[in-house]
Structure 1
Amino acid sequence: MDAITSLLILSSLTHLTVPATPTATFYRASIEVVSKSLRIFSGENVQLRCVIPDIYLYTWKYLWFKDSMQLPETEETLRISNTHVKSSGKFSCQGKRETAIGFIQTRPSLPVEVSVDGGWVMLQTPPHPLVVGETLNMECRLRKKFPIHETILYKNGVEVMRQNGSSLLFQVENVDLEDEGMYSCRASWDMEMRTYSVMSAATPVEVLEFLSQPVLEIDAENDQ
């Protein structure tokens, strides 16, 4: 009987296999934007940091992805230098480390989108949706410092605001759902006896309706 039992144990062990793919943890990585903005001009730089909510402070290797394609970088911070229009894309990250039972990895982060503009003017808008009642702040940003004398703000191709002078900032207070749309700006300046007027590409602004937290009410009369 002992010989038969030993053979059965050995037979069972031969069917044990080591998982080929890393085991996922409950941690979800997230991306912190180190740079000022995710919308930049070509030639500028952007930095992203992969954050892993690990309270035990283990040593992690970092995996970076652009449009679902893995990048060669493995450091905590991803530096994208001397960007061009093709540098645009959705970036995500993931943590991976070796343990006694093999490699484990975090859940991938939600993607962040880097937009590289090859023009002379861009409209910088909030990176996240606004809630009804908040203030919408926008900047008509120029690649170089020009003597601006007029800026115009457009929504869905229709002029909504015009201002004279050198200010490049636009503000819409107490936004509502009707303020959602595609915004762009036009900047005009004089230089060397000529007038230049350049319009930015359109960028989306999203407005969400404020929803109060649900409240649980108990009807004592119907309580059995």
Structure 2
Amino acid sequence: MTLATATKLTVKIGNTTVLHNVDFSIEQGEILTVVGPNGSGKTTLLRALIGALRPASGKIWHKPGLNIGYVPQRLNINATLPITVNRFLSLPRKRKADDIAKALDNAGVSTLADHQMSQLSGGQFQRVLLARALLEQPQLLILDEPTTGLDQPGSAAMYQQIEQIRSNYNCAVLMVSHELHVVMSASDRVICLNGHVCCHGTPAVVASAPEYRALFGSGTQGALALYRHDHDHNHDHNHTEAAE
């Protein structure tokens, strides 16, 4: 069953065309990962799909009544704000204690309910954001670089958790990631984006595509080095997160 599609999607930020003529779909139960160099429009695609950005042209369709859970790449909370995980998960509307407990358990942080948000590690914070998304009982879970700031063991554990969530909720997972070695083992399908769809298909198909190799080379280590180089270079030139 198709959950969401984009047809001939073009998105502009200011006068810059970030996405051009993108066709996209995601099916129930699949893990679909979007990869591409920094500035390729990955975050823009996610934000357009959740309705945070209006297309310049093209159409976005959601299955009627589709529940979407969204985990942003980062969320800033004032470190001096005294707010517990429980309270954070009850914003902007009150949640049942049982629902919060279930979401935290499925995110792998069942013991953190009474902890202060300001005291969480980077990995714990990301998992609390994941729990917040799970409170929506998502049919489609959208994750924008869910392992940002995590070390390798933390990243591996997060991807295992996402796989378990897919099973527990029977949901589709759409995520942006630059960890190509993981993407190629953890995804059912991959889209390579660089302002447009360069190539798409199973991980094996994408990894062997000339368009993918032109961006990332033939090995994942080279791909990671390229991403980090581009990311650092673009950061120095003040590229915005919205255009990632």
Higher RCO structure, 1 or 2 (CA under 8 Å, sep 6+): 2
- CA radius of gyration, larger in: 1
Structure with bigger strand share is: 1
Q: Which is helix-richer, 1 or 2?
A: 2
Q: Name the TM-score, length of structure 1 as normaliser.
A: 0.25
